[in-house]
Amino acid sequence: MCETGARSATHALKHPHTFVGAFSNGYLHYGPPADHYDRGGYEVTECLLAPDWQRIFERTAVAVLGRLHAARDASVRARGAGEPETESGS
């Protein structure tokens, strides 16, 4: 999961105020990179995810980040670029 998380974090860093949380959403186990499945070993044999999990995860993470930041950008434009944001986010 570290390799996949690092790739997702690299994409996330393109956007301000974004962070990547590990060990979230209730899955506290290994998520080996797809190319490790043919190697076997503990991380792969104990994994509950199919090998295509990585592709789905990375594609979904990029799509979610894109939507979140597009919505934020639209909100900033609607407020007017010169108006500071309040603590409540409005």
- pLDDT per residue over 40-84, tens digit each? 888 888 888 899 988 998 888 888 888 888 888 888 888 886 555
pLDDT of residue 7: 67
pLDDT at 28 over 70: no
Contacts of 61 (CB under 8 A, 6+ apart): 8, 11, 12
Rg (CA), the chain: 17
**pTM of the entire predicted model:** 0.61
> What are the backbone angles phi and psi of residue 10, rounded to the nearest 5°?
-60, -40
pLDDT at 10 over 80: no
Helices (H), 1-90: 2-12, 42-45, 53-79
By percentage, how much of the chain surpasses pLDDT 70? 59
Highest mean pLDDT among 1-5, 16-20, 22-26, 65-69: 65-69
